[in-house]
Structure 1
Amino acid sequence: MRLAAFTHNDTTHIGLVETTGSGTVLRPARGLSSEGLTLRDVLAGGEALLTRLRDEAQASDALPLEAVTLTAPIPRPGKVLAIGLNYKAHVEETGREVQPHQIWFNKQHTCITGPFGVIDKPVASDMVDYEGELVVVIGKRCRHVPADRAHEVIAGYMAGNDVSVRDWQKRTPTMQMGKSFDTHGPTGPWIVTADEVADPQALTITTKVNGIQRQHASTAAMIHPIRQQIEHLTTAFTLEPGDLIFTGTPEGVGMAMDPPLFLKDGDKVRIEISEIGVIENDVRNEVAQTLIA
């Protein structure tokens, strides 16, 4: 299944996407829609709610995909965790050495935005970079998960962009500030459930900026595969339904080019992952306004 969140006639819905032809969205006509449940709620409800979503969606009318606006499938995840330096060629392009341990950082959940939303180029920096990544969506509450059982806790996969403000990223060892600016976590276009992805370590990630290819690599090149990532994380803390794991970016980031090619107003970043789908985001200069609500 392809689980989607979307707006139609100024109302937010969840449903299923069918990609045959020009694509359609199946919106539950009753039940789940009227209850205002999110996909995070559905994942937390386990197989029973997933089955209910499928059954209600299949009994509903289909909307053309172009008639809706896809939004972030999990707009406010409990945790957004990202692994750094997880592709050897990317490590090399940064001038660093492969580390024997996994390197993790947090992205604040307020960075999450939709698959076709705008990426703000903040007033605070001119060093904004892209990082195309496969994103894992956790489907079960879990702790101390051995690598050979990691597949049991994965709900599905998305494409993601770990947008990075490089000068802010380098200021502190945690990297959190430079990884968490608002709009700097595009995800989607939907969640492809784990049963539809035969091997998540055999997918191709391609990133283009203004139509020019910058990244192209296989997830097989990960230093620490997804199963090891989940084992490592759950050694320390509990993962919960709807938590997101950004699994690392391959070589080709703008920072590593000579001269560096950072994102600017008017750029378009397209990230495509085989078997998953495409996200595409326009970069726009931030209009900085004080918000106190």
Structure 2
Amino acid sequence: MQYVSFKAADGTETWGVSIDGTVHDLGPSGKNLAATTRDAIEKGIFGTQLDLSGAPTIAEADIDFLPSVTNPGKIICIGVNYLAHQEESGKTGQTAPTVFTRFADSQMGHLAPAVKPTTTTKFDYEGEMALVISKEAFHVEKEDAWDHIAGYACYNDFSVRDWQKAASQWIPGKNFPGTGGFGPYLVPAADLGDITTAVLETRVNGEVRQQAPVANLVFDIPTLINYVTGFTKLNPGDVIVTGTPGGVGLFYGPDGLINHGDVVEVEITGLGILRNTVADEASLLAGAQATAGASA
């Protein structure tokens, strides 16, 4: 089952399931089974056999995608968690996961612009897989970790490298608005089988830049959940972004970084394709001002 978060025609933020290109609205503008995907997870109805009868429908091609989870309490990101990326960045020999945080309001959905800030010349992509927590998780043992996962989704941790590298803490370079691509779908863990057999691929304008099986994570999923819940409590709907393979733009070559008009896709087996097109912040502001002037 493919769960989506989206805006209804009247602007209401809602959620539902997409089946064969048709989205069944189960949120506030539809059947109202729960307010958000996060609420559906908290209620225990995410990933279950839902009654879709009477739910309004809309073609998936016509929806305005939102991040798969629009209101997570916490987004925990893991850095340099594939060996090839450790090697290209000179960060081998990690003895514990590298952790940083991303704010929920920095995220955007499938097909939304990836916003290149006016204050950077070093905008980059990082294709990743995200997992979403299903129930309260604190001091979770590795053998119990899989029972705490609601589902998985594609993620693009777009990075503002000059801000990221300005100091030892990465948070500034990871939290500009419109830089956390999340979606298009959140797929229940139970529907996927062994997620470690999935392959992650990132493409820029159709060119493959990153490709690796999830099995290549240096710190695997049980280790990440055990480590993160060792220092903070996670709740339903919280997100762990598991890390990016080698091949990021910063180390790819002279034309590796991304600019206005570049199309970046993250595809993971069973999770669909997350697509975002880079847009300069200045061009978006100019467009918004022109629209406001025309309607005045």
- Scaled by the length of structure 2, what TM-score is found? 0.90
Render the CA deviation track for 1:9-60: whole Å, top value 9, x for unaligned: 2333211111x3xx1112238897447701111111224x7658x22x2443
Q: Unpaired runs of 5+ in structure 1?
A: none
Against the structure 1 CA distance between its residues 35 and 153, is the aligned structure 2 distance closer, same or farther, given a 3 Å change threshold?
closer
Partner in structure 1 of residue 124 of structure 2 = 129
Q: Does 1:118 align with 2:113?
A: yes
Q: Unpaired runs of 5+ in structure 2?
A: 286-296
Partner in structure 2 of residue 195 of structure 1 = 190
* Greater than 6 Å deviation, 4+ residue runs: 29-32
**Which among 23, 26, 41 is matched to residue 25 of structure 1?**
23
Give me the CA root mean square deviation.
2.0
Partner in structure 2 of residue 91 of structure 1 = 86
Render the CA deviation track for 1:88-136: whole Å, top value 9, x for unaligned: 0111111232311111011122111111100111001010100000000
Partner in structure 1 of residue 43 of structure 2 = 45
**Which among 229, 252, 265 is matched to residue 247 of structure 2?**
252
Letter aligned with residue 104 of structure 1: V
Partner in structure 2 of residue 204 of structure 1 = 199
Answer whether contact 2:198 2:268 (CA < 8 A) is retained.
Answer: yes
Q: Distance in 2 between matches of 1:31 and 1:9?
A: 9
Partner in structure 1 of residue 279 of structure 2 = 284
Q: Distance in 2 between matches of 1:281 and 1:25?
A: 21
Partner in structure 2 of residue 163 of structure 1 = 158
Partner in structure 2 of residue 175 of structure 1 = 170
- Pairwise CA distance, 1:8: 3.2
Against the structure 1 CA distance between its residues 138 and 220, is the aligned structure 2 distance closer, same or farther, given a 3 Å change threshold?
same
Q: Distance in 2 between matches of 1:65 and 1:186?
A: 18
- Pairwise CA distance, 1:183: 0.7
**Which among 56, 59, 74 is matched to residue 79 of structure 1?**
74
Answer whether contact 1:13 1:33 (CA < 8 A) is retained.
Answer: no
Secondary structure, aligned partner of 1:236: coil
- Scaled by the length of structure 1, what TM-score is found? 0.90
- Pairwise CA distance, 1:77: 1.3
Answer whether contact 1:29 1:60 (CA < 8 A) is retained.
Answer: no
Partner in structure 1 of residue 58 of structure 2 = 63
Aligned residues: 283
Letter aligned with residue 40 of structure 2: V
Render the CA deviation track for 1:135-170: whole Å, top value 9, x for unaligned: 001111111110111111101000000111111111
Identity rate, percent: 34
- Pairwise CA distance, 1:260: 5.1
Against the structure 1 CA distance between its residues 104 and 280, is the aligned structure 2 distance closer, same or farther, given a 3 Å change threshold?
same
